[in-house]
Amino acid sequence: HSKPHQLSHGEKKRVALAQAFLGNYDLLLLDEPTSGLDPIQSKRVRKIIQAYGKTHTVIITSHNLAEIRDVCDEILLIKRGKLLKHAPLKEFVSAADTITLDLQYPLEDLSILLSKHPPDAFYITYGFNHQELVISNRRGGKMDSNDLSQVVQYFNQAHISYHGIRIGKNFEETCLDLL
């Protein structure tokens, strides 16, 4: 039995969360609920929040976009007290105007790739930290499965190693674009 002042930050956080959930409140406000927790405890807390949120209203404030994406189904994006967007999570991830390749290794010089293998149907730009390539089609509009096939074929022929590919922007990219 430890006294409260003897607990670590993570232990204090877990005690505070347990107290909040035991109250069985109709509305629960949680500020950065997983900050300071190790990854295993964070995952457990997110599952508890999800389960609690099925029968109660839970409002979470967090800078951890992965946490918000994993737990919330309704998002209010606020910057300096101003509401930027209020929508269901699916509206933050539904844009499909790009395809993003998560590269196995950073691509230092995109111009070399483009000069050796000029793409016919799409534009290629750098994404995050040269670890991603963002592809959009030349005709404009949404990307589809045919575009995805062309992109995969192009990068396989160019011998560019990648470990992930997605159509559209992910939650974090959409939020960062709005901020």
DSSP string, 119-167: -SSEEEEE-GGGSEEEEEETT-S---HHHHHHHHHHHHHTT--EEEEEE
Q: How far apart are CA 71 and CA 64, in angstroms?
A: 11
- Supply the pLDDT for residue 95: 55
- Supply the pLDDT for residue 111: 85
The total number of residues written for the chain in this structure: 179
Tens of pLDDT along the chain (179 residues) come to 677 778 888 888 888 898 999 988 999 999 999 988 888 989 999 999 999 999 999 999 998 888 898 899 999 999 999 999 999 988 877 557 788 888 888 888 888 888 888 888 788 888 777 788 888 877 777 777 788 888 888 888 888 889 888 887 778 878 888 88
Interstrand relation of 57-61 and 27-31 (parallel, antiparallel or unpaired): parallel
- Supply the pLDDT for residue 79: 92
Q: Half-sphere exposure of residue 58, counting CA atoms within 13 Å on the CB side? A: 27
